[in-house]
Amino acid sequence: MSQSTSRCSASALRRRGTVLGRGARRPGRHGRITTTGRDAGADPRMTQTMSRQIASRAAHPRGRTAALGVLLAVSALLASACANPTPEPVAKKEAPPSEKVDPAAPCSREPWTGGEGGGGGGAPTVRMDPPASPGGPPTITLSAGENVPLPALAPRSGGNLREVGDGVWELRADISIVPGASLRIAAPEVKWLRLISENGKIAAVKASGGGLDVVGSCITTWDPGANTADTNLDDGRGYLLARDGARMEIDHAELRFLGNGTVESYGISWRTEGTTGKMTNSVSSHNYFGMYSYEVAGLVVTNSEFHDNKLYGIDPHTGSHDMLIEGNVAHDNGKHGIILAEDCTDSVIRNNVVYRNAHHGIVLYLRSDRNTIEGNDSFANASQGINVNESNDSTIRNNRVYDNNEAGISVTQTSRNIGVENNQVRGNKQDGVRVVSESSGTKVSGNTIGENGRYGVYVDIDGDDLDISDNLIFANRSGILLKGSAVVPDGSNSIFENQNGAILSD
């Protein structure tokens, strides 16, 4: 992108400078320049100096030709310096209509059968255990056998696991997979697994130190009385859980109408240190959380869709770290699209499309440090596109953040050392970029910030540990608003065509 400026002055010919508005330049607080109106033309002092030089040469006949050449060169140079940079266009994505899922027929994808087959690990060891609590379901415990296909459990399930249609299975008990065993739920043998949910009794699949693979199948809850998936969270719903060093991997699956607000019952969860897994090429919708993790390292969530979940789409939580969240679509969730919350560190959120969520698009919250948010589209969210709150040492770069209902990108509370670099921040209803509260060490650099409804950059912090430079800030209501003691040096950004001025102080 061109680094020219609209301000015609000597400094403008050397570097990008701040473009001032029409009207008076006056010193604001702390030596800042406060401007109003639209962008100005040439610096009169520079123009007068050049005019005197040209007139001196023109007084001598032999100098007239040279003077004319100088005049043409200076005119061309000034015209180049005065031209506003051309903002790089942003390729906005269109949010498609909300997806409707019929609870009576919740599985909308063809079963995927491209995975490896099950079996091969010897005869499984299966036992039936009584209910863990009065009135609860019994438990089918798989204690030995590798890659055991789900149908192999049926003969020893006491009728609690049975096939009711071609590839359609119903489970009326919990399944527990303990160390030394692994279970495979896969199409075409299992096209649809219904976790029965009725009269307060729910069925769940739990990898408790063992392994669980879900490949190509659809898994939902099922209420036989209503003959639909269970849409009532109040009396519990079935779920998938991996914990205590288990491994759960989900690929090309549909997971819908799962989970409730009880701890460990959130829908699709990985919990406790040593637990591993991934979720790829899958759909998660109408669950309590789209996915959830707790103290898990190395989780991979890629190329999946998370929508219409009760709270969050993608929610790695407390102490989860070194994760890859890439190529997903998170939309129409009841709170944030993607959130790393409470000590989630050293992870990458890359190339996701996040839109129309009921709060923020992407969030780093509470000591979620050393993360990278890059290459994402975050748009049409009810609040902010990207929010960093009480988290440190992270980078937000090369994202497209547009048409959100509040700010585009916000760095807030005690966040430290956040880099906001080379993003397109366009058309948000409030500010393009906000740096507020007790945040420090924020660098806002190389961004294109335009057409936002209020300020291009809004700053309200105490202290001067802030770098706002080399940005293209245009066509906002105002360019930059500075509150508190923050300073933006004159000449450090290209600012033009803002309605109420370039840099304002309050």
In this prediction, residue 114 carries a pLDDT of 87
> Directed axis angle between helix 44-58 and helix 61-82, to 10°?
160
Res 21 pLDDT > 90: no
Average pLDDT over residues 307-323: 99
Identify the H or E element spanning 120: none
In this prediction, residue 28 carries a pLDDT of 39
Least confident of 72-76, 122-126, 370-374: 72-76
Which of the four pLDDT bands, split at 50, 70 and 90, describes residue 116? Answer: confident
Res 29 pLDDT > 70: no
The DSSP code sequence of 289-353 is SSEEEES-BS-EEES-EEES-SS-SEEEETT-BS-EEES-EEES-SS-SEEEESS-BS-EEES-E
Neighbour-count burial of 17, counting CB atoms closer than 10 A to its CB (0-12 exposed, 13-18 middle, 19+ buried): buried
In this prediction, residue 23 carries a pLDDT of 30
In this prediction, residue 26 carries a pLDDT of 32
Between 201 and 163, the more confident residue is 163
Which residue segments constitute the domains of the chain, with CATH numbers given? 134-505 (2.160.20.10)
Average pLDDT over residues 46-68: 55
Res 476 pLDDT > 60: yes
Res 10 pLDDT > 90: no
- Selection from 330, 262, 328, 329 nearest residue 299 by Cα: 328
In this prediction, residue 80 carries a pLDDT of 58
What is the three-class DSSP state of 121?
A: coil
Strand partners, 216: none
In this prediction, residue 77 carries a pLDDT of 54
Query: What type of residue sits at position 12?
Result: A
Neighbour-count burial of 53, counting CB atoms closer than 10 A to its CB (0-12 exposed, 13-18 middle, 19+ buried): middle
In this prediction, residue 220 carries a pLDDT of 99
Share of the chain above pLDDT 70, in %: 83
Which of the four pLDDT bands, split at 50, 70 and 90, describes residue 2? Answer: very low
What's the whole-model pTM score? 0.88
What is the three-class DSSP state of 64?
A: helix
pLDDT tens track for 435-474: 999 999 999 999 999 999 999 999 999 888 999 999 999 9
Average pLDDT over residues 51-71: 56
Share of the chain above pLDDT 90, in %: 76
pLDDT tens track for 386-430: 999 999 999 999 999 999 999 999 999 999 999 999 999 999 999
Res 285 pLDDT > 50: yes
Res 498 pLDDT > 60: yes
